Amino acid sequence: MIEAVIFDMDGLLIDSEPLWQQAEITIFKQVDIILTHSMCTQTKGLRIDEVVEYWYKKYPWDKLSQLQVQEAIVNKLIELIHTEGKALPGVNDAINYVKAKNVKIALASSSAYKIINAALEKLNIADAFEIIYSAESEPLGKPHPGVYLTTAEKLGVSPQNCLALEDSLNGVLAAKAAQMKCIAIPEMSEFHNPKFAFNASALRANADMILESLKQLDDNSWGFLNS
């Protein structure tokens, strides 16, 4: 039985992936790394320190420290969230639907707390969640399951009785590694990516269900996962 629903944030609640890409492209240019939007997708769902480390290993620089690059990207992103951030379709509908099921509700994100706070303030949904937890408090970010396991522990619910809602492959991998059920709601360009597809015989992590948007979280999907 599903006793708790755990929402990711970036790309699921707020349309922040284009903002992340814009911030990364702008700041990495300062250390002479010219990223494209396609290149940015290689690190989708990772913590910002892991994103910076990923590109530093490929193209080492000496103009700024990795921490300075991280902080600059985060500050730029928060600026963009305040000016351009918007909710993705079905956010309030999905939150209200879950609340009507009388289950616990939480948010588990790879983003730092100050990014989470900026996004939830922009969408005016901070009060919707019993627990708000960031992978910045974990030794490793997604796809490591730590952020989900700790969130379940904070909720007082077994991971096997949690449903995670995710948009990125790294997020799905994290949720399934935590032994949770998982609905993937990828951006449309990724919707037919076979890596998201449900495969009952696979030992690797695949989503239990794929939806086009949070608007499709309804009694049909809930009943299928709760059976």
Locate the domains of the chain by residue range. Answer: 4-15+87-225, 17-84
Instruction: Exactly one of 8, 32, 62, 167 is catalytic; name it.
Output: 8
- 127 classed as catalytic: no
128-147 per-position pLDDT tens digit: 999 999 999 999 999 999 99
Domain boundaries 17-84, corresponding CATH code: 1.10.150.240
Instruction: Exactly one of 10, 15, 62, 167 is catalytic; name it.
Output: 10
- 218 classed as catalytic: no
- The C-alpha angle with vertex 12 and arms to 85 and 77, in degrees rounded to 5, equals 35
Least confident of 18-27, 56-65, 90-99, 206-215: 206-215
Helix axes 66-84, 113-123, angle to 10 degrees: 0
At residue 192 the predicted structure's pLDDT band, cuts being 50, 70 and 90, is: low
pLDDT of the residue at 193: 65
pLDDT of the residue at 202: 45
Q: What is the mean pLDDT of residues 55-79?
A: 96
pTM > 0.75 = yes
pLDDT of the residue at 189: 62
Grouping H, G, I as helix, E, B as strand and the rest as coil, residue 139 is: coil
CATH homologous superfamily of 4-15+87-225 equals HAD superfamily/HAD-like (3.40.50.1000)
Report the side by side order of strands in the sheet with 162-166.
131-134, 104-109, 4-7, 162-166, 181-184, 209-210
